[in-house]
Amino acid sequence: MIAQLKRYGVFAGGSAFGAVVDYIVTLVAVRALGISPETALALAMVFSATAVFFWHEHLTFGSKGQPGLSRRYILFMLWSVVVWGMRAGMLFLFRMAGMPLYAALALAIGIASVVNYILSSRAIFRTTHQR
């Protein structure tokens, strides 16, 4: 349990980096490009997902050097599409409930992070020493 909490802390650090990129790029794209927040979030996640993958590969899960890098990367990028769907759905619902964009975006990113960790640690970055 303690090891999982520590690992989640490192995971959260990488996710926080990605979330900052997602947050800033989304808000700027909405204002500068006039696109919907959900579309802007998808654009932001294209950039952040690869950076976050390598954070997790090297720091969070220590998978570097383990076989299956391409498989993990593809799974992570596919999972990122699902994460975007969760975030975009929550963002839409929170905005419909009257939350300001900045608060709705922060809450959607935060909630999705917990779900992201659970799947990432159990399926995507699961290495032989974790089984």
Of 25-34, 42-51, 54-63, 73-82, minimum mean pLDDT range = 54-63
Sign of CA dihedral 68, 71, 75, 76: positive
Write the Ramachandran bin of 65: left for phi over 0, alpha for psi from -120 to 50, otherwise beta.
Answer: left
Query: What are the C-alpha distances in Å from 90 to residues 38, 83, 115?
Result: 10, 11, 13
**What does the pLDDT look like over 35-62, one tens digit per residue?**
999 899 899 988 899 888 888 888 888 7
